[in-house]
Structure 1
Amino acid sequence: MKPILFTFRRCPYAIRARLAIKVSGVDVDMHEVSLRSKPQAMLDCSPKGTVPVLKLPHGAPLEQSLDIMHWALGQHDPEQWLSPDPAVQQQVQELIQQNDGPFKAYLDRYKYAERFPEHPAAYYRAQGAAILAQLDARIALHGFLCGEKPGLADMAIFPFVRQFAHVDKEWFYASEYKNLRAWLDQLLESSLFNSVMQK
């Protein structure tokens, strides 16, 4: 029995899990789910009902996207997304924590500003943009977040930057973050990304 990934096409957490599985070449069955009508097989595997979930032939399911990324890359990492350098590993961890914590919170408030009427959308955008500025500065140094080629940080973070950009593309592509814009476009145009986004 092959592992089964319960996924949702546009979810950034699910996207990054699929990216790692795809690049690793590990054979996994992809099950696209409707978030309004979650399949019982998924809920039996993971009662919390969020995607992605990786059901393994043996052992507990993996319910966190980063765990799924590490699981796949731990089997085969042909593009060397995982750095052997402890200093780089620390940078990667800090960048992903910033993305999954404060940046994701600002993204949600910016995207769904009507649900958070304490501030206008522009306020939440400015909070998120402060983090975008940090990413832009890192990319300006080497081309990617932690070096001269894409790594775990890039692949774990860009699906969220994509979502942020999509809230107001005109604003994003007129913004001062030219390095970040070029980085995002390069990753969005990659054959890897397009292969995991096919319907």
Structure 2
Amino acid sequence: MSLTPVLWTFRRCPYAMRARLAIASAGVKVELREILLRDKPQTFLETSASATVPALRLENRVVDESKDIMIWALEQSDPHQLLDMPDEGWALIDANDGPFKAALDHTKYASRFPDIDTETERRKAAAFLMCLDGRLKRQTSLFGARPTIADLAILPFVRQFANIDREWFDAQPWPNLIAWLDGFLQSEDLSHVMTKYPPWSDGDLPVWFGG
């Protein structure tokens, strides 16, 4: 008898959000274990070598990179064909996870980076967002009329950036980006994966998610 995969997660983490989005889209059943980042359970620390969420415990291995968790879930089942994406989609995800995420962090957590100019970093982030806006001028998703894994992988980070200063964000010349983000924010998909669960502790009844 195979064991149900265990997903360690933190509700507001964009990496964990996109993992849950892919698992929900795939309809794969996992046991969800919510943690507090300031009080990580020992069982979680024994699971994740990086001590970061998300982490997915399978029968024979641990997957602790969010993009790999997304791919794993969609390789089990992909009813919305999210993996049907041009190769440039993977490069766009890498740009999100690399330069954009760095600029996002330098903007959002400016006090942690006293030697870095916040406005310069915000301009770097904005350049990536303008690129996304250009893609969305004639289509509702990044690679056409339907979402792909790129949309699910990138939207949680755009959400996080917009929440730094939503008034400033809405004043920028990227109307297509705003519409794309707002559609995501109002979606049942986001509402579903943002359900609040109490932090996991040993002995709790399982919380099932996805399937």
Aligned counterpart, 2:63 = 62
Separation in 2, partners of 1:92, 1:100: 12
Pairing 1:31–2:6 present: no
Separation in 1, partners of 2:38, 2:116: 29
Q: TM-score, normalised by structure 1?
A: 0.94
Quote how far apart the aligned CAs of 1:116 are: 1.8
Larger % of helix: which?
Answer: 1
Separation in 2, partners of 1:109, 1:119: 7
Quote how far apart the aligned CAs of 1:102 are: 0.1
Aligned counterpart, 2:130 = 133
Aligned counterpart, 2:199 = none
Given that 2:26 and 2:73 are in contact with CA atoms closer than 8 Å, whether structure 1 keeps it comes out as yes
Given that 1:144 and 1:154 are in contact with CA atoms closer than 8 Å, whether structure 2 keeps it comes out as yes
Q: Paired residues, what number?
A: 194
- Which runs of 5 or more structure 1 residues have no equivalent in the other structure? none
Aligned counterpart, 1:152 = 149
Aligned counterpart, 2:73 = 72
Separation in 2, partners of 1:47, 1:186: 36
Given candidates 3, 6, 9, the residue that maps to 1:7 is: 9
Could you list the structure 1 runs, at least 4 aligned residues long, displaced by more than 6 angstroms after superposition.
Answer: none
User: What is the 5 A alignment of 1:104-183?
Assistant: 104-183=101-180
Given candidates 16, 20, 23, the residue that maps to 1:21 is: 23
Separation in 1, partners of 2:116, 2:30: 43
Aligned counterpart, 1:45 = 47
Q: TM-score, normalised by structure 2?
A: 0.89
**Secondary structure at the residue paired with 2:25?**
helix
Given candidates 180, 187, 192, the residue that maps to 2:189 is: 192
Quote how far apart the aligned CAs of 1:114 are: 1.7
Given that 2:106 and 2:116 are in contact with CA atoms closer than 8 Å, whether structure 1 keeps it comes out as no
Match for 2:5: what amino acid? Answer: P
Separation in 2, partners of 1:181, 1:164: 12
- Which runs of 5 or more structure 2 residues have no equivalent in the other structure? 197-211
Higher relative contact order (CA 8 A, sep 6+): 2
